[in-house]
Structure 1
Amino acid sequence: MKSLPKFTALALLVALTGGMYSNSVFAAPNYEEIEKRKAAKTKIMGERVGKKVAKAFDLYNEEKVDEAIEMLRELDPSDDFDKATVNRYLGQLYAQKENYSEAIKYTRQAIAPDALNFKDQGDLMKLLGDLLMGTEKYAEGIKAYEAWMDFTGEKDPAVYGRIAQGYYELKQFANVIEPADKAIAASEEPNKQYYLMKIGAYFDLKQFKKAVEVGEVMVKIFPEDPQSWTRLGGFYLQTEDYGKGLTVMEIAYDKGYFEKENHYKILGSLYSLVEVPWKAAVTYEKAIKDGKIERTKANVTALASYYHQAKHISDAAKYYEEAAKFDDDAELYGRAGGLLLQNQQYSAAVVRLNKALELGTEKKGSAYADLAEAYYYQDKFKQAYSAIVKAQDDPRTRKFAKSWANFIKDKAQRRGVSL
């Protein structure tokens, strides 16, 4: 809580106006009644109570808070206004000491008789809302704020925002939207937090398209805010509107708005999803080289897959092998070997395929079949035949391996090679 201002004895004797504590639903102020209350005759404390209250606040100004509280607690005024005033100050002093349970108790007691002057009654009702929200009594805090709005007729965007936040904390997400909208409407300058509360509520309600609509508004209102762009790009990815997502993320990228690794990943994913994998690959590769994306196994594998999708076979094989080296991943070595075979880099393919087999790949049949092919195209028929025979041990490649074994045997015989 914020610390209270220092009081002077004179300030305590200043006129105060009265009010009414309402438990009505969301803001239904009676403006005629409000004007009457504002125009009501000013009340002041009785002389006896006023002098003692002034002494108490002299102690407060000397930083003797406990002594000031004790003096105020000893008072037992018979007049409702005097009693409400004493309770009001006790509530404020307890809030100063961060004893919020006592602060709430005395603040409620000060409000209850509807005896204070208009401004002070209103300020106290608002303080009660702040105290309740600050102590996570969200439902009570919301009611206190609504009562304050009914009483004063004021439309404070900060209070609407706190009500929206209270509903969010209560997980009453459907109730967040109206006060958030009221906070937006009552604000002289746009406040991002109110829009973000709406987005959060819509996401928790699984109303993703509505969250996207709010994101689109934020980009227009806060065009220089990097997060408005990158957030919207992520929303489009989640709602599978890949074309719009790519447009937004490309703008954010060009403007230098990327702040997190995930932003580069989203852009790469969107390029891939709209079938522009080469741009996904080069963007991802640059981000890794620039340190924007960490060089981990998962990230290098993703880069390899983008090059693979783009049919840049050598680059894909290179990065699959790099990813494999992180923890001797047999399957990634096998994938690199298969791509090198496809690219007619037979000697290189043999090395990677043998590495996959050495590390115990689960796809032994495929690895031996690819290995046989790589040997075959180097005219190494003995090695090719040995590999294809082993491929027959795997039920998944047995039929193919048997036919290939006969083919290799015939070719070797024609070349005069004994198997």
Structure 2
Amino acid sequence: MTFPRLARFALCAFVLLLSTATYAQRNKKEVNEYPNATRSDPKSTMSEREQRDLSKATDLVNDGKGTEAMPLIEKALGNAKIGKYAEAYAYQLQGRAKWELDDEAGAIEATKKAIDLNTLPNNQHFPLLYQLAQMYVQGENYTEALTTLERWEKEAGKTTPDALALKGNAYYRLDRFQEAIDTMKKAIAGSETPSESWSQILMASYFELNQFDEAAKLTEAELAKKPNDIRLIKQLATIYVQGDNYPKAIEVLSKARSQGLITSADDYMQLAKLYANADKPKDASEVLKEGLAKGIVPASLDALRLQGDLCSQFDDDACAIDAYTKASPLAKDGNVDYQLGYLLFYADKAAQAKEAFTRALTKGGLRQEGETYVLRGDTENELGNDAAALADWRKATTYPSAKAMAEQRIKAATGGVKLKRPVKSKT
């Protein structure tokens, strides 16, 4: 399983509407969001000129017009007499504008300057510190993200499920999987509406530590809430497979199939292969046959060859011959035709078997090239072509794996002994 990188954060805008009123007067009406903060809440005042210069820049940034806002922000920052609060506010605006303009490094630099001035009121300072942590995660600087989040928690005197989830994400990206698990579990437990991505990171962390039982419990709980969610069904099946619990994986997917939830080629192929791995070739064949019949599974070489192999395993030769015959034109090497020829020979179709063996040898790439010559010789013998049979058997003696079989046939044929059809074996 893989888990996608978190989407780009929509960074929150913490904006105060500028007016002729002083910030000290406005802040008196605000609710203190950080009553347990260890940082004293600074006074926030701006001169009328600073308010005027930054008011339009604020509106432009709020409207997503960072390019137009930048000259106004730089003008304010270029004022040698700018107040410390106005300066921090301007850097905050600059950070937002640069972020929207995809200048991540510039946005982080400006945001850090706003924080380091230490003059924003708590209701602006701490959200900005948290925003910086988000920026670090987005920029894949997870160590700095954790440092910033720990500072935020300590100085703000609080934490939230979202903050814990952000930490859990950073721990995961740093391969600190147990810490990711512990933190993300707290985030999920503390939230009324935990994000789906949180569970995915928790799941990925369990996987990395091979804690498949825990991963299964998590997905089973989610599936209980959404019993028809095929994504969760496939995820749970994958977890069972990773934990070598094939019966459970089969149970989950076969139930989904009975409910009509298995609707993709990959799903059908996965279930068929699970049955095959569990030594249930007949069940595997039925699943694959259904997928092919419905047109969900394309009649590809892999699917048809698998169908032929499965049918061969439980001696449904007619099914296997049909599958291999359809697969033959798609195969680049001769191995499918070898299998087909073998089955045709034992189905008393020597002429067709000969054609299949000849195709196999022509295409090449055979795993059992010597055996192919032996069997084509057998078909020639069945057809009464003695010279051709001897030629194939003699060719087969040049292959160590087929030498003994070929020599036995040559000895019998040249000694006037009537050859009996060899015993059919699993191919």
* 1:1-40 paired onto structure 2 within 5 Å: 4=13, 8-10=17-19, 13-15=22-24, 35=35, 37=37
Cα 1:259/1:192, change in 2 over 3 Å = farther
Which shifted more, 129-138 or 246-255? 129-138
Q: Is the counterpart of residue 167 in structure 1 residue 176 in structure 2?
A: no
Tell me what 1:52 maps to: 50
Range with greater deviation from structure 2 (356-365 or 35-44):
35-44
Task: Please tell me the residue identity of whatever aligns with 1:363.
Answer: Q
Q: Contact 2:58–2:93 at 8 Å: present in 1 too?
A: no
Match of 2:376 among 360, 371, 377: 371
Q: Separation in 2 of the partners of 1:222 and 1:211?
A: 17
- Could you tell me whether the CA contact under 8 Å between 2:373 and 2:393 is conserved in 1? yes
In 2, Cα distance between equivalents of 1:116 and 1:7: 11
Distance in 2 (CA, whole Å) between partners of 1:204 and 1:181 is 16
Q: Deviations over 1:271-314 (max 9, x none)?
A: 11222211211211332343433333223212211111222112
Question: What is the CA–CA distance in structure 1 between the aligned matches of 2:334 and 2:396, rounded to whole Å?
Answer: 17
Report what 1:396 is aligned to: 401
- Whole-Å separation in 2 of the counterparts to 1:299 and 1:323: 9
Aligned length: 397
Give me the whole-angstrom Cα distance separating, in 1, the residues matched to 2:80 and 2:183: 40
Q: Structure 1: which 5+ residue stretches go unaligned?
A: 19-32, 414-419
Structure 1 counterpart of 2:416: 410
TM-score, scaled relative to structure 2: 0.78
Deviation per CA, 1:338-396, whole angstroms, max 9, x where unpaired? Answer: 12223333333233223334445563432233234445556666665554455444433
- Out of 337, 340, 347, the residue aligned to residue 341 of structure 2 is 337
Aligned pairs (5 A) from 1:222-237: 222-237=226-241
Give the Å deviation of 1:264: 1.7
Pairwise CA distance, 1:34: 5.4
Corresponding residue for residue 156 of structure 2: 152
Q: After alignment, is 201-210 or 222-231 more displaced?
A: 201-210
CA–CA separation in structure 1 for the residues paired with 2:20 and 2:223? 48
Maintained 8 Å contact 1:6/1:61: no
Offset of residue 86 of structure 1: 4.6
Which is bigger in relative contact order (C-alpha 8 A, separation at least 6)?
1
Partner of 1:303: 307
- Aligned residues of 2:233 and 2:256 also touching (Cα < 8 A): yes
Q: 1:5 to 1:265 in 2, by over 3 A?
A: same
Contact 1:59 1:68 in 2 (8 A): yes
Structure 1 residues 136-285: aligned runs within 5 Å: 136-258=140-262, 260-285=264-289
Change in Cα spacing, 1:117 to 1:378, as seen in structure 2 (3 Å) is same
Structure 1 residues 309 and 237 mapped into 2: Cα distance closer, same or farther (>3 Å)?
A: farther
Which 10-residue stretch deviates more, 3-12 or 222-231? 3-12
Q: Which amino acid aligns with 1:9?
A: L
Is 152-161 or 245-254 further displaced after alignment?
Answer: 152-161
Instruction: Give, in whole Å, the separation in 2 of the partners of 1:249 and 1:231.
Output: 10
Contact 1:8–1:54 (CA under 8 A) maintained in structure 2? no
Q: Is the 8 A contact 2:111 2:132 kept in 1?
A: yes
Of 70, 77, 82, the residue aligned with 1:66 is 70
Deviations 1:168-220 (A, max 9, x none): 33344443222221221122124321111122233334444544443334323
Structure 1 counterpart SS, 2:35: helix
Preserved contact between residue 328 and residue 337 of structure 2 (Cα < 8 Å): yes
Q: Structure 1 residues 346, 238: closer, same or farther in 2, change over 3 A?
A: farther
Name the CA shift for 1:100/1:191 in 2 (closer, same or farther; >3 Å): closer
TM-score with structure 1 setting the length: 0.80
Distance 2:57 2:361 in 1: 85
179-188 or 200-209: bigger deviation? 200-209
The residue type equivalent to 2:372 in the other structure is A
Match of 1:104 in 2: 108
Secondary structure in 2 aligned to 1:35? coil
Q: Contact (CA 8 Å) 1:164, 1:179: kept in 2 or not?
A: yes
Answer whether contact 1:308 1:316 (CA < 8 A) is retained: yes
Distance in 1 of aligned mates of 2:295 and 2:359: 30
Contact 2:44 2:119 in 1 (8 A): no
Distance in 2 of aligned mates of 1:329 and 1:379: 28
Distance 1:97 1:356 in 2: 61
Check whether the contact 2:324–2:340 (CA below 8 A) recurs between aligned residues: yes
Change (3 A) 1:316 1:96: closer
Q: Distance in 1 between matches of 2:36 and 2:162?
A: 26
Counterpart amino acid of 1:13? T
Give 2:43's aligned amino acid. K
Amino acid of the structure 2 residue aligned with 1:143: T
Residues 1:348 and 2:346 aligned together: no
Give the match for residue 28 of structure 1. Answer: none
* 306 and 77 in structure 1: CA distance in 2 versus 1, 3 angstrom threshold: farther
8 A contact 1:4–1:96 mirrored in 2: no
1:177–1:198 CA contact under 8 A, matched in 2: yes
Provide the rounded CA distance (Å) in 1 between the counterparts of 2:184 and 2:376: 64
The one-letter amino acid paired with 2:22 is L
Residues 179/56 of structure 1: CA separation in 2 closer, same or farther (3 Å cut):
same
CA 1:346 to 1:286, structure 2 compared with 1: closer, same or farther past 3 Å?
Answer: same
Q: Say which is worse superposed, 347-356 or 227-236, in terms of deviation.
A: 347-356
Distance 1:399 1:9 in 2: 96
Give the drift of 1:326.
1.7
Coordinate RMSD, CA, aligned: 3.6
